[in-house]
Structure 1
Amino acid sequence: MLNEHGAKVVIAGRREARLQEISKEVKFPENIAYSVADVTVPEQVQATIDLAIEKWGRLDVTFNNSGIMPLGMLADPSYNIDVWKKTFDTNVIGVLNGIKASLPQMHKQKSGLIISTSSVVGHVVMPAGAAYSGSKFAVRAIMEVLRQEERENGIRSSIITPGATRTELTNSIGNEAIQKAITESSNDDLDYAVRPEDLANAVLYMVDQPDHVSVSELIVRPRKQEI
């Protein structure tokens, strides 16, 4: 959507084939590049930011959007330190890596916008979501610290906070019973999940604001979602 509205974009992720596919699907393929990167690896995040600066000459927006959602009850033996560490490495350290890599260039420009994805469960909690909710509460705290630290430097921070959304995120749940329940409830009622393009519209709104306006957070829920 940003490409369609004239932005020059670098997309990043772990799956090169998917990045190539997206790069061919956009309206203006000459205005998109990709970087194979894992957000838990600082050097790969830095290489992505460096590519954007090298290719387009500046860095106006960084969008920290990578995340996983393993779910499980705390008493479940399979819901353990390995799962928790992976959750926090991706959802929290990944965001910090994106911020750290972006700030030097944005300081040079005296401008920039950093967006990170939290979640409705970064405001409320639910059973089976200890690590995931904890990670999303952390994202909100990190982004508020960023806002306070960088507000005099021309750098803005925003959080996009989705409710239930039709993406591949549910594939990372890791608990078959929970995944089945969530998937079936979403499939039974198509209005129980927002679409990726709904969130893209919200991000476009954030990006399109003038430099003196900081949209701190947008919560985007499906109308029928209870929490």
Structure 2
Amino acid sequence: MKSIKGKTAIITGASSGIGEAVARKLASEGANVVLAARREDKIRELADELKGSYSAEVLAITTDVTSKQDVEDLVKQTKEAFGQVDILINNAGVMLLSFLKNDMVDQWEQMVDVNIKGVLFGVHSVLPGMLEKGTGHIVNISSVAGHEVMPSSAVYSATKYAVRALSMGMEKELADTPVRVTNISPGAVETELPSHITDEEVQDLFKDMLSGVKPLDSVDIAEAIYYALSQPDHVDVNEVIIRPVNQG
């Protein structure tokens, strides 16, 4: 296993859930961690906690990934603090499941902006620098919904299929470079995302679907990401699918 001690990692969506768990894991392994999210109070609190618990350097930078300028500024501030970006975890995402007939167009747009454009803005902001330095690892968080579609997930799945397609294209384009690409597709994870669903029909459906299934913990996803990051330079882990075991 390769050490990531001293490497600099940006984590988007770091204020809770998978992003928070990844931040804890990477900080515990000695990486410099940059927490990016809209909720300034959450990431600053987390940064203080991590700095008090580990020897890693931690920055909290308020960021809206739907803003190209915000993401560019995030990367600029990271480079000013640490010199370069070694790792980007494109984790920020929203899961606003709804039935198409209910016409929640604003939520469709929000998922496209966060789940697709947010990832693209991250890639845009770090890839040239990684290629110039001859090192780097980009981790995109897709979903099992990027492999399968269920009633109410049409738009969400479309965004996560897009993340997978982007990851696959990056893998091919960057295969002859030192920059590695990993696509992570989690199944059901215990996070706050389901609480953001406003379609009441879907809320009931979602509860039924998870009946008998114990969701994964965010730390399970963090461990999978660390596995990919800590492989030797000649190993490129392109795709990881993580599902909970059905307890029914």
The TM-score with structure 1 as length reference comes to 0.91
Partner of 2:195: 171
Partner of 1:11: 35
Distance in 2 of aligned mates of 1:169 and 1:29: 31
Distance in 2 of aligned mates of 1:22 and 1:184: 34
Shift of residue 148 of structure 1? Answer: 1.2
List structure 1 runs of 4+ shifted beyond 6 angstroms: none
Distance in 1 of aligned mates of 2:144 and 2:56: 36
Partner of 1:209: 231
Cα distance change on mapping 1:165 and 1:129 into 2, 3 Å: same
Does structure 2 retain, via aligned residues, the 8 Å contact 1:119–1:161? yes
Per the alignment, in what secondary structure is the counterpart of residue 2 of structure 1? helix
Partner of 1:87: 111
1:219 to 241, 244, 248: 241
Aligned pairs for 1:24-35 within 5 A? 24-26=48-50, 27-28=53-54, 31-35=57-61
Cα distance change on mapping 1:179 and 1:225 into 2, 3 Å: farther
Partner of 1:74: 100
Per the alignment, in what secondary structure is the counterpart of residue 178 of structure 1? helix
- For structure 1, the residue ranges without an aligned partner over 5 or more in a row are none
Does structure 1 retain, via aligned residues, the 8 Å contact 2:30–2:56? no
Shift of residue 176 of structure 1? Answer: 2.8
Does structure 2 retain, via aligned residues, the 8 Å contact 1:164–1:225? no
Q: How many residues align?
A: 222
Report Cα offsets for 1:18-74 as digits up to 9, x if no partner. Answer: 001111222226511011001110111111112222111221110000100111111
The TM-score with structure 2 as length reference comes to 0.84
Report Cα offsets for 1:177-203 as digits up to 9, x if no partner. Answer: 4235535765x75x5200011101001
Q: Root-mean-square deviation (CA), in Å?
A: 1.8
Cα distance change on mapping 1:212 and 1:14 into 2, 3 Å: same
Distance in 2 of aligned mates of 1:110 and 1:97: 20
Partner of 2:176: 152
1:51 aligns with 2:73: no
Distance in 1 of aligned mates of 2:78 and 2:171: 23
Does structure 1 retain, via aligned residues, the 8 Å contact 2:139–2:184? yes
Does structure 1 retain, via aligned residues, the 8 Å contact 2:97–2:153? yes
1:103 aligns with 2:98: no
The one-letter amino acid of 1:53's match is K
The one-letter amino acid of 2:246's match is K
Does structure 2 retain, via aligned residues, the 8 Å contact 1:70–1:132? yes
- For structure 2, the residue ranges without an aligned partner over 5 or more in a row are 1-24
